Amino acid sequence: MTSSPYLAPIEDSLSTFKDNIFSGKVLFCTGGGSGICKGMTRAIMRHGANAAIIGRNIDRLTETSKELSEQTGKTCIPIRADVRQPQTLQNAVRRTIEKFGRIDFVICGAAGNFMSPISSLSENAFRTVVEIDTLGTYNTVKATIPHVRDAKGAYIHVSTTLHHRGTPYQIHVSAAKAGVDAMSNVIAVEEGPHGVRSNVLAPGFTSGTEGMRLMTGKTKVKADGFSTPLGRFTEIQDVANAAVFLFSPAACYITGQIIPVDGGAEHLRGDLFPYPSSVIDPSSVRKLLKGKM
């Protein structure tokens, strides 16, 4: 598949939207310490919002918040919380309100993943992923919804395209993210009368992320021969640009939608990616269960 300049992601969504469209707004983002959620947080902040990033690794959160504040000129605060524990999320919301006075946008992005065939997947490992992804999303919405209602704000839930087909070694994540998709649809219907919108972004295999490393053993993989219509892997900036759009006034009538950001890959037949057993890393499971991922 030949490459073409138009296939590259828009490097900076500031080239599309006014740089102050989120002035005075506040973002609450779980999983914002790294990867896709860090990229989305940066993009929202570069358009004028302040942010609170939530996660379990306070050292990484502190480093990221400093970096994002310096890059954007806005304020980002780190708050340690575990999305499986409602009390810690309620505390994170309280601290965010004390600092900024409001919450307009919420990104439910905390997630856990590793590769395992069902024959080797323990009940505890399956439960942990569902608790982080599905229950964690529920807990995040419950903790934030009064403030998002007040702001007539919006949710973005970070999902995946893995469960849109039978993806091997991903039964735990497929089940968890299918639940996230379903919850977003219900939130859109229930909270729409309160002025709240809820949508899902479903990235494809995304370069430069921990998820890519878990799938391939590397964070950066050449996309030669990769079977997507646009001929490359998803980039973090692709997802960040989509998030800016969904939170922007341009998307004020879009809710209850599941939007893949995968270059059209889910519309192709066949396996999208090789899954050799050699890349299944048991240490990833141990790290997740110990709260280090």
- In whole angstroms, give the CA distance from residue 17 to residue 244: 8
Q: Of 3, 7, 2, nearest to 263 (Cα)? A: 7
Which position among 13, 25, 177, 284 bears the catalytic label?
177
Which position among 116, 159, 198, 248 bears the catalytic label?
159
Give catalytic status of residue 283 as yes or no: no
Give catalytic status of residue 292 as yes or no: no
Backbone angles phi, psi at 189, to 5 degrees: -75, -45
Q: 128-134, long-range: CB within 8 Å, 24+ apart, which pairs? A: 128/288, 128/289, 129/172, 129/173, 129/176, 129/288, 130/172, 130/175, 130/176, 130/179, 131/84, 132/83, 132/84, 132/176, 133/173, 133/176, 133/177, 133/179, 133/180, 134/176, 134/177, 134/179, 134/180, 134/183
- In whole angstroms, give the CA distance from residue 128 to residue 92: 21
Q: Which residues pair with 212 in a beta bridge?
A: none
Sign of the dihedral through C-alpha 159, 162, 163, 164 = positive
Provide the H-helix boundaries in the chain.
35-46, 58-72, 86-100, 123-130, 136-151, 171-191, 210-216, 236-247, 282-289
Q: CB-based burial of residue 204 (10 Å sphere; 0-12 exposed, 13-18 middle, 19+ buried)? A: buried
Catalytic residues: 159, 177
